[in-house]
Structure 1
Amino acid sequence: MSYEATGKLVAKFDIVQRTESFKTREFVIEKTEEINGRAITNYLKFQCVQDKTALPDRFAMGEEVKVMFNIKGTKWVKDGRENFITNLDAWRMESMKGGAAGSTGAENTQFNNIPPQDVVDDLPF
């Protein structure tokens, strides 16, 4: 299942080479919401893996972005004790300025490029 969150980019960390063939990178967005008349600020830390580690490079610090991500959880046992970690794995980022930076191809489709419904097409189905 995929999720999305919007906020201001406030931190970008270096790429970490975890193994010879696996690398990760983290970044943080600041998300402020008004709840019962109070502004509540949360900081969401995301992880990018492999070819997605360059995603944050396309955005300036302080820029409003939308992040599409999956939630992944891992369990491991150490010294007889169960441990758990949850990651927010980012797989796409967009600027909230109007463009879709960090996306390509069909992901960049604009709804205003879709023809109006009264246009007759010649498809057989």
Structure 2
Amino acid sequence: MEITGKVHEIGQVQQVTDTFKKRDLVVQYAENPQFVEYIKFEATQDRVNLFDNLNPGDEVTVSFNLRGRPWTNKEGVTSYFNSLVAWRVNKAATSQPADASYQNQPPSAPPVDISSDNDDDDLPF
């Protein structure tokens, strides 16, 4: 699965146990601009560095897996949890003109009217 949005927040690496670490990334997702969603992704173990080169405001595409698991408390009540586990994050390419000097060119001359009422030319059209 993939989603594109803007980086809202980048969490610090959390060392949960001696052998497990994780890191969160929150992305603003605005499929409908009136109702912006804040989607939290996580990266674990050796993938925590996926978020190193990101900054808030960056436009990114996050590739992720949806994970779900049950948990039963002491009273025997089962709850279900979902996780969005990121496995790739790409910054969106910024659209820059190929030649920036093109924008600084003086305006071109106005078009010349080459139509004529004179039918002296010998062109067949």
TM-score, normalising length: structure 1: 0.70
* Letter aligned with residue 65 of structure 1: V
Distance 2:13 2:68 in 1: 21
How is 1:62-101 mapped onto 2 (pairs within 5 angstroms)? 62-79=57-74, 80-97=76-93
For residues 47-84 of structure 1, the C-alpha deviation after alignment (integer angstroms, 9 at most, x for no partner) is: 10011101111112100000000000111111111021
SS in 1 for 2:93: coil
Relative to its length, the structure with more strand (as a share) is 1
How is 1:1-125 mapped onto 2 (pairs within 5 angstroms)? 3-34=1-32, 39-79=34-74, 80-97=76-93
What's the offset of the Cα at 1:40? 2.0
2:116 corresponding residue in structure 1: none
Structure 1 spans left out of the alignment, 5+ residues: 99-125
Structure 2 spans left out of the alignment, 5+ residues: 95-125
Distance 1:67 1:32 in 2: 14
SS in 2 for 1:60: coil
Distance 2:81 2:16 in 1: 16
SS in 2 for 1:33: coil
Q: Which has more radius of gyration?
A: 2
SS in 2 for 1:19: coil
Detail structure 1 runs of 4+ shifted over 6 Å in the superposition. Answer: none
SS in 2 for 1:43: strand
Aligned Cα root-mean-square deviation (Å): 1.3
Give the total of aligned pairs.
Answer: 93
Q: Percent identity?
A: 33
What's the offset of the Cα at 1:15? 1.1
TM-score, normalising length: structure 2: 0.70
